[in-house]
Structure 1
C-alpha cells in the first residue's frame, strides 16, 4: 500500500494521476496548505522540505520508504512498475529531460505568475511582467516540441511521466491564468491538442478529482 500526502495543487495532483494510471490501491492523507499542515513535525519527517506531495511505500523492498519531490516520486513509481518511463536509451532520457523541464521551469514560473498576478497582497507590475514573459516563452517551448514532427506527447510517441507532471500545470494555465496568457494561448494549438489528448484519459480525470471535494 502507498500513502500519498497531498493537496489540491498542480504538484499535488501528479501522484494521484500516476497511481490511477497504474491501477494501484493507495490511500490519501490530505495536507491542508491553508492550515499550514505542511509544517507539522510529523510531516517534516516524510518531507524535509515541507512541500507536497510525498509518499510512503509501505511495501518497499527493505521496509517502508518515504519519497518527497514530485519528480522523484514519479520516477520511483515508474521504475517500480516498469511503466511510463523507458528503462534505457533515447526514450528514457527524452522523458526525463521533459520531466525536469516541468519541475524546474514550467511549474515554478506558472506558480510565481499565479502568486504575483492573482494572490499577492501588494501589486508588483515588474514581477507580473517578468513571470508573464517567462510563462509565454515556456508555452512556446512546449508548442515547438509538440508541433515539430507532430509529437503526440512530450517525450515522443509514448505517454510518460513527463506528460503526467506537466498536465496539472497546463490545466492551471488554461483555466486560472487564461486572462493573463490569453494572447499566447491562441498561438499554441499543439499544446491545446495535447491538453485534450491527455485530459481524455480516464485515469487522469480520476487523479484530478482526488480531494476535489
Structure 2
C-alpha cells in the first residue's frame, strides 16, 4: 500500500507539472494540433490568426451563442450547469452547460466525448487557463482551435472555406452563422442554412448588438 501511495503521488506530481508547463507554454505559443484534429478522418485545414486579425463581431457572436457570461464568470457558469442537469434528468437530447473556457480546455488538452473522468480533467485545465491565460487568450485560442467545418479548424480557415475572405472582415450575419454552426459543424450548414439553423443564426445576429451594447465582450479587449 505504501508503494502504491508513493506511485500515485508521483503520478499526481508529474501530471500537475506537465499540465502547468503546457498551459504556460500555450499562453505564448500557438497550439500546434489537438487530439480532435489528429483523430479527424477528414484531414486538417487550419490557419492560426491572432485575435487582432479576427473580426470583433465573431467574438460577440460566440459569446451570444455559447456563453453570455463569459466576462463575468471564473470559468464555470453554475446556473447553466444546474439547468443542464435538470433538463438532462427529464430525458431527451443531452444538453451541456459548458462555458467557452471549458470548451477551450477540452479542445486543447483533452478529447471529445463525455464521462466524469474527462470532466474532472476539464475542470482542472479550465481553472488553469482562467488563472494563467486570462479571457483574451482563452478567446483567441478558442477561435483558432474550434472546429468550424468538416476537417476545418479555426475562424480563419472557416472564413476562407465559406466566404473566401479573411476572418478579419466578416459581416455580422457571417459571424452569426459561423457561431450557430460551432457546436455541430459537421451537421449544421454555415452557408445557405435552412430551418432552425437559419433562424438560430438570425437570433445570434440580433444578439450581437446586445453584446456590443452591454459590453459583454469587454474582458476580451480591455
Common fold: TM-score over 0.5:
no
Bigger Cα Rg:
2
The structure that is strand-richer by fraction is 1
> How high is the TM-score relative to the length of structure 2?
0.27
* TM-score, with structure 1 as normaliser: 0.28
